[in-house]
Structure 1
């Protein structure tokens, strides 16, 4: 025998149950955490460089057949590529320096602006860097610590200094200096961060 109240219950219960379930879904969706974000991409770190370059591809001096009293000069430009302030110094790295023949070569070095390799036209001296003999320069100024200078470079490329090297073969060079030659001389400029 059919029970009419079961039919009524079967028709009435699904409606509230469906409303209850749909409400739960809506509540779950609206109760989610809100969020927002922003990014700053492409970050890198690159070390700076205290790079130096000069405008000469050949030795400043290759002098032959000198006689007492002979003179000469040459210029060279030193350019800094550093992006920060540096201190520039000049020294010589000339191993196996032999006899005292170099003491008969007078050397004067000036620092300034203008002038380029093999062309000192336009060179303006700012101060003297060295005035003595080649022998003294090579013996006394052998590394950054003992080098002549320093000269401040601002760290805003291109920043440069020009140097004029003037030499004289002493008029009092003895007879025994005929046919003698120096070993190769290297002039080195070094820049270090200036703090």
Structure 2
């Protein structure tokens, strides 16, 4: 009826059709969009939770209780002695242990060239007594104390290495350090001394 009115009003039929088509076409497109939206709810998901990372650790302790291994006075030529120390690794990672030294200022009358040092690693024994110590075989270091303190000064040039397993800790290695004051030490060494020496054990991961 509306189209007839438009025709009666003198509008050409082509314009009448153009006015009439947009409404049903728009409704059809709208319906299509609604149909698609109502069918877009399908989904799938999966989860892997609880992920985290933690670092391992490398840790060494010894059984000296902070007491120096050697505090020897009134040496005479030919005197000797030894001491053991147990090094415990509480590391969770495989590592390698090396022994090196550091020392205070060298005294004027240094007798360290006349003291021979021997280092062995093994099992058994402790800081209080070397009873039960069993070497693993061979000597790790044998030379003068002077040479030891001047050439074994860091991990890179330290004595060793000794391999230590990782988990489960602890792992214990005992070291026996022996010394001898040369039987041919000259009279000039009377009243002399060595520098204060620190023995340092360090572990690094393999």
Alignment partners' CA distance in 1, 2:43 and 2:143: 79
Compute the displacement of 1:159 (Å): 1.1
Q: Counterpart of 1:93?
A: 102
**TM-score normalised according to structure 2 size:** 0.73
Residues 13-162 of structure 1: pairs in structure 2 closer than 5 A: 33=42, 40-41=49-50, 43-57=51-65, 58-98=67-107, 100-126=110-136, 127-156=138-167, 157-162=169-174
TM normalised by structure 1 equals 0.77
CA root-mean-square deviation: 2.1
Q: Secondary structure at the match of 1:176?
A: helix
Deviations 1:108-164 (CA, angstroms, capped at 9, x unpaired):
111111111121011001131111111111111110111111111111311121100
**Aligned equivalent of 2:185, options 137, 162, 173:** 173
Deviates more, 1:116-125 or 1:87-96: 87-96
Contact 1:71 1:166 in 2 (8 A): yes
> Aligned to 2:150, what secondary structure does the other structure show?
helix
* Alignment size in residue pairs: 166
Which portions of structure 1, spanning 4 or more consecutive aligned residues, are displaced by more than 2 angstroms?
31-41, 43-46, 95-100
